[in-house]
């Protein structure tokens, strides 16, 4: 009997170790544990990846704006700050429209380069940055226009 219970514990440990390893592999591939189990991926993680690939040149990794690019474009770096109260007050639809269609002479249109899901993921990522920035400030993470 004792051998069986020891074997059972060892088998249980190996099964648990395998599950942890599988989860670690999924995370290493840029997926969260929920994705590994077949759940929908976290849009903030996907949005962070799209943002890091396409947006950091102008908006910086922190999304607070790249001073060198602001200078090159002749604009105030505050206009490139995507964590500002000005951006917080835009609705998700407005932010989506800006990403998709650009801003004349200030930001390129990403329509045709990013699909709708990628744009929605970037919006979710930006909103998550707001939540982190404004956490502890009354819990308000966005303006009245957030949809």
pLDDT tens digits for range 44-76 = 899 999 999 999 999 999 999 999 999 998 999
Phi, then psi, of 107 in degrees rounded to 5: -145, 135
pLDDT tens digits for range 6-55 = 434 333 333 333 333 333 333 333 444 444 556 667 888 999 999 999 99
Instruction: Please give the mean pLDDT across all residues of the chain.
Output: 75
Number of domains forming the structure of the chain: 2
Q: Tell me: do 68 and 28 sit in the same domain.
A: no
Q: Tell me: do 60 and 11 sit in the same domain.
A: no
Q: Tell me: do 66 and 132 sit in the same domain.
A: yes
- 9: domain range? 1-40
Q: Tell me: do 8 and 48 sit in the same domain.
A: no
Q: Computed over its alpha carbons, how large is the radius of gyration of the chain?
A: 21
CATH of the domain at 110: 1.10.760.10
Contact 56, 111 (CB under 8 A): no
Q: Tell me: do 91 and 127 sit in the same domain.
A: yes
Q: Tell me: do 36 and 103 sit in the same domain.
A: no
pTM above 0.85, yes or no: no
Q: Tell me: do 53 and 34 sit in the same domain.
A: no
Q: Tell me: do 82 and 132 sit in the same domain.
A: yes
Q: Tell me: do 35 and 102 sit in the same domain.
A: no
């Amino acid at each position: 009997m004792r051998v069986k219970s020891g074997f059972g514990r060892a088998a249980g440990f190996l099964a648990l170790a395998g599950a942890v390893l599988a989860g670690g592999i999924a995370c290493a591939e840029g997926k969260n544990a929920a994705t590994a189990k077949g759940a929908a991926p976290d849009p903030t993680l996907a949005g962070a990846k799209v943002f890091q690939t396409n947006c950091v040149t102008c908006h910086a990794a922190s999304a607070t704006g790249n001073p060198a690019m602001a200078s090159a474009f002749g604009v105030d770096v505050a206009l490139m700050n995507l964590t500002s109260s000005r951006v917080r007050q835009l609705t998700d639809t407005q932010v989506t429209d800006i990403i998709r269609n650009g801003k004349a002479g200030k930001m390129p249109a990403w329509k045709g380069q990013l699909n709708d899901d990628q744009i929605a993921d970037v919006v979710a990522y930006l909103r998550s940055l707001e939540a982190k920035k404004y956490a502890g400030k009354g819990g308000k993470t966005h303006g009245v226009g957030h949809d």
